Structure 1
Amino acid sequence: ADVSNLKNFLSAVRLAHQGADIGALPLSPLVPAKTSEVEKPKTKMIITSRRDYPLTKGFPYSLEHLQASYCKLARIDTRVLCLKKLRKLDLSHNHIKQLPATIGDLICLQELNLHNNHLESFSVALCNSTLQKSLQFLDLSQNKIKALPIQFCQLRELVNLKLDDNELIRLPFKMGQLSHLRFLSAARNKLPFLPSDFRKLSLENLDLFGNPFEQSNPLVPNIQLKIPLTLLECAARATVNYR
């Protein structure tokens, strides 16, 4: 603001408060602010180091996409849980051990990336939260999870699920309820078998490499991918079947 105009305005306010006539004061006319002069609400913030992580300053409430990776976070900041407009939250490459149930209060959250943390479980409370209606992408890869609760299959809007490099000894037996799931990767776990409900999935891409399956081909006979297999994959499956 112009300094002289601001001084005149403050003088007018003081005189008006005292009941004086301010009609003769030289006040400049009000001019609408230009679009370029108005600061747009911040919708995206990316933090990739501990030193850049805000310790005292809060996060803009308008954020829709927040990434805070490589920040050595041991828990999820409560300030993050107040960002009700968040659609994408990336907390990968941290030291997070537990997920607070209040993540389920982020009613717009569509993507949650927790790759490479220290998680040992995924709570029932989150499975029963509003994430049931919003969450489409979930990355839990490279953690220490041994099992997922049965209620996990209530996250029925999931399209893409990454579970690679955990310690999973089983998958929820109601996996078939994830009717929107198209991309699933659970490579390098400790899965000895797949649940029978698995056959109900309509997957476009599936990666189960590096699991100690009791059968040589856990996909036989009933599990089908939604898209046709490549010639190479058909040949590979035939080789396994007729060894």
Structure 2
Amino acid sequence: MLDETTRWKPQSIESSERVQLSGTYNVRKGKLQLPVNRWTRRQVILCGTCLIVSSVKQSQTGKMHILPLIGGKVEEVKKHNHCLAFSSAGPQSQTYYVSFDSFTEHLRWHRHAAKMVSQRINSVDLSCCSLEQLPPNLFYSLDLTHLNLKQNFLPADQRLQQLQRFSRLRSLNLSNNHIGQFPAAICDIATLTEVNLSCNYLTCVPSSVGAMSNLQTLLLDGNSLEELPAELGSLQRLGYLGLSFNQFGHVPQVLEQLASMEKLCMAGNSLETLTLQNFRLLRSL
């Protein structure tokens, strides 16, 4: 499940709170018996649910390899001291061999990676990986129910339309990216119950949002929204709506139709007046 080199914005990934282990070790990719595939000193990071490998000299140029570990394998290599084989799952599985400098490091990496590979294949965490595009290996398994793409550099382009291929997706986090517009393709994912699109420079919400009949949580905080479509009132299961730090000058009237609303956040807007009449029908709020 390893794609070719994935482009990313050159920022220090080691500063991410999701980094569990990191270091510089001798690494081989592919099969050990291939003589042309020699050991090379690489920067290796265990971040979230992925193994990230990059050149030590070019670690700041924006090139790295991402090896998803969920559903894969981590095995000891007996022919080499302190060596582990990290393998991804799927029909295009790839393997990285990492030779550690001590048994203590070998044991620590083995223990942490073993937790990753044992996780559910239906949950993928690629947050804080500085991604500029969706990795092709993400679509090797279409049974995902939880996908976290928070705090990357994903733009608004046609590639985001591929997300609708995850027909079983329940939770999607796209917050803190560079999307710029509401990804209408996700409105076709009927199974979604939670969507986070905070901090994405959004200026409007499409009318197609009304098709997300199972949605319970919708977070749109930190955007540039002034209005909400009337079709939002169709979301009768919506219990939590985040609209903080947008540009609303009034409480949208469509909110009165959301009978299941329990939590509404509208801090940091431009509301000059507020009366309880705005919420008279929201008895669960």
TM-score by length of 1: 0.65
- C-alpha distance in 2 between matches for 1:50 and 1:165: 33
Distance 1:50 1:135, change over 3 A: farther
Which structure dedicates a bigger proportion of its chain to strand? 2
Equivalent AA in structure 2 for residue 124 of structure 1: A
Moved more, 73-82 or 212-221: 212-221
Please list the CA deviations of residues 156-213 of structure 1 after superposition, one character each: whole Å capped at 9, or x if unmatched. Answer: 1111111111111211222210011011111000112343232111211111111112
Distance 1:212 1:56, change over 3 A: closer
Aligned to 1:120: 180
Aligned to 2:49: 46
Aligned to 1:164: 221
Are 2:123 and 1:65 equivalent residues in the alignment? yes
Aligned to 2:13: none
Q: Aligned pair count?
A: 180
Aligned to 2:230: 173
Equivalent AA in structure 2 for residue 95 of structure 1: F
Aligned to 2:167: 107
Instruction: Find the structure with the greater CA-based Rg.
Output: 1
Q: Name the Cα RMSD after superposition.
A: 2.7
Q: Contact 1:96/1:117 (CA < 8 Å) preserved in 2? A: yes
Please list the CA deviations of residues 72-123 of structure 1 after superposition, one character each: whole Å capped at 9, or x if unmatched. Answer: 1012123213321100000101111126212111011000011111111123
Percent identity, please.
24
Larger RCO (CA within 8 A; separation ≥ 6): 2
Which structure dedicates a bigger proportion of its chain to helix? 1
- Equivalent residue of 1:109, what SS? coil
TM-score by length of 2: 0.56
Aligned to 1:139: 196
Aligned to 1:185: 242
Structure 2: 5+ residue stretches without partners: 1-47, 55-63, 70-86, 91-119
Structure 1: 5+ residue stretches without partners: 1-44, 228-243
Aligned to 2:144: 86
